[in-house]
Structure 1
């Protein structure tokens, strides 16, 4: 059995640090994979915020959440008939068409300092096709978003960042994120890198846990 993918590892670390009832943020909603994961992880007593600058991404995320809720409802009905335990409902999700660098401004004040997980999946929104590939996350706004995320986290909260050095501009962004995370004072946070060493252009994961 091989090692877990970087996306699966990011989800594992988040699940270990964001119990039910937590507040969580998907900083790059894209197609909604991480948004759905967070909504299921923190459950109906939690809260999820999802950011993206593309309306298409937010619509895709909304559809993914709707389909998952409908599937859960069908499974719950079958579960009752078969005496199986149904899945708990998803957390309420707030979709925000805004750059993730604005999260400190747009997250509800009641949730500031209480966020348990922030997930970043950098690069571009694949479902948008070739035009979408031109609209990528940028080093400057990504670093600003990471600083904002640190301010929103509760002690013990985690940030996961999947970086993509293989596309144009991605190598610069990945290096900047790695340097930023390595430069955090150990008294403020601990940082780790999860990477497949023989594939230098493959995506890799950086994670930060706030002390």
Structure 2
């Protein structure tokens, strides 16, 4: 495992928590890498709900799912992640977020703090005990730092009796992406 690659680190932690047959959420489908990862982990008995507001992201994810023969246990939803509660009402083992913009796409279409907080809250409400939420935070694009501050301010106030919120970051490089995990203990 590359200790500097936040995607690898995120996948490593999630794979230790997620159980075969559960429900998981990819809150920012993007090019489908997390969706594929989750679908493989969950097996045919599990289900992934993958959200993105961009048709190109949904199409890209769909192509990868078809090639990987994993389409049967994934719902692709072209909608904002703030609306997760409209689609998912069962307990989840995991939710994954990649904040920022879709690589190789319009960098003006980005996640924003207010809707991300709503989505995180929806996922917290659905998260089973010992479930995990992974948030990859990118701050180098316009608006990225502001979103990170809004999200962190919200996360600092989460009930510490029921949740642990961890931050994994590079101390001597404030511009590198970093990870936040929300782990439900009760």
Report the TM-score when normalising by structure 2. Answer: 0.95
Q: CA RMSD in A?
A: 1.5
* 1:181 pairs with 2:155: yes
The 1:23–1:49 alpha-carbon spacing in structure 2 relative to 1, beyond 3 Å, is: same
- Count of residue pairs the alignment pairs up: 185
Alignment gaps of 5+ in structure 1:
70-88
Does the 8 A contact of 2:138 with 2:144 survive in 1?
yes
Distance, in Å, in 1 between the alignment partners of 2:56 and 2:5 is 26
Structure 1 match to 2:44: 44
Higher share of residues assigned helix: 1
**Quick one: structure 1 residues 37 and 175, their matched pair in 2 at CA, closer, same or farther if it must change by over 3 Å?**
same
Q: How far has the Cα of 1:2 moved from its partner?
A: 5.7
- Find the partner of 1:127 among 76, 97, 104: 104
* Runs ≥4 residues deviating over 4 A: none
Q: CA contact under 8 A between 2:95 and 2:132: conserved in structure 1?
A: yes
Larger radius of gyration: 1
1:92 aligns with 2:69: no
Structure 2: tracts of 5 or more residues without a match: none
Whole-Å separation in 1 of the counterparts to 2:155 and 2:167: 9
In 1, distance between residues paired with 2:36 and 2:63? 10
Structure 1 residues 152, 63: CA separation in 2 closer, same or farther (over 3 Å shift)?
same
The question of whether the paired residues in 2 share the 8 Å contact of 1:46 and 1:91 is answered with no
Contact 1:156–1:209, Cα closer than 8 Å, also in 2:
yes
